[in-house]
Amino acid sequence: METITDIKGTFRLHNGIDMPYFGLGVYLSDNDREVVNAIQWALDTGYRHIDTASIYKNEEGVGKAIRQSNVSREEIFVVSKVWNSDQGYESTLKAFDKSLERLQLDYLDLYLIHWPVEGKYIETWKALEKLYKDGRIKAIGVSNFMQHHLEDLIENSEIIPMVNQMEFHPYLVQQDLIDFCNKHKIRYEAWSPMMQGKIFKLSILDNLAKKYNKTVAQIVLRWNLQKGVITIPKSAKKERIISNADLFNFELSQEDVTYIDSLDRNQRTGPDPDNFNF
């Protein structure tokens, strides 16, 4: 079992880098006040991990928020991702430069391949390996890679991904994939831990919320961490950003972790990594 301490706690990646296991996702936050405010509130609350992507079109705002904050750059774990239309070796190198330019940062803590674009992701990964060896990224990883994508990548590259960011919530656990990643020391990370808000319409977790005197969101996020899954709930609301982080004064029993696991329906709220066309 992982040690979970506080909001600034970390899980170690296989290259020795410590990655905060709790962060703020900024998907769908606009590139202006909304994203700047969200990040300021998050950093003030103690968050030290911000996850963006070139396709979110808010890297400028993310960079601005980091510059305006009173937290030093070295303390903030910044993640971005290469979009599908930029995949390929040379185009990934260019896309990375553009992301850094928009963020106005000298390096990234983690850079991910956003989706496994067939026929392209191996070359894209080679570009990430180069950027990593050049010291421009502290860690490299992937997002939305199923086991067969990972096997293909591992077979055809030098460096095993440090992270795999996947849709993960009580209706989509994919325990076999988590086990595969754990076996290869690839850190599992959740996107959409709240099922894009649908979690709040389910009454299945109300009893646990009552039992622990916590919100449904807090129960789900704590479950993420206790499974060793890095989590980045997205919110632009100050109260929610603060409330999402209130996870470190209770612990789910193993029985309750197993109960949440048992809700798995293999049901996605986002696209299928084996069948997407963007």
Active site residues: 56
CB contact at 8 A, 245 and 225: no
The upper half-sphere exposure of residue 153, i.e. CA atoms within 13 Å in the direction of its Cβ, equals: 35
Burial of 131 (0-12, 13-18, 19+ CB in 10 A): buried
Question: What residues contact 58, with CB distance under 8 A and at least 6 apart?
Answer: 26, 29, 30, 31, 35, 52
Q: How far apart are CA 117 and CA 124, in angstroms?
A: 9
Going by the DSSP 8-state scheme, the letter that residue 272 receives in this structure is B
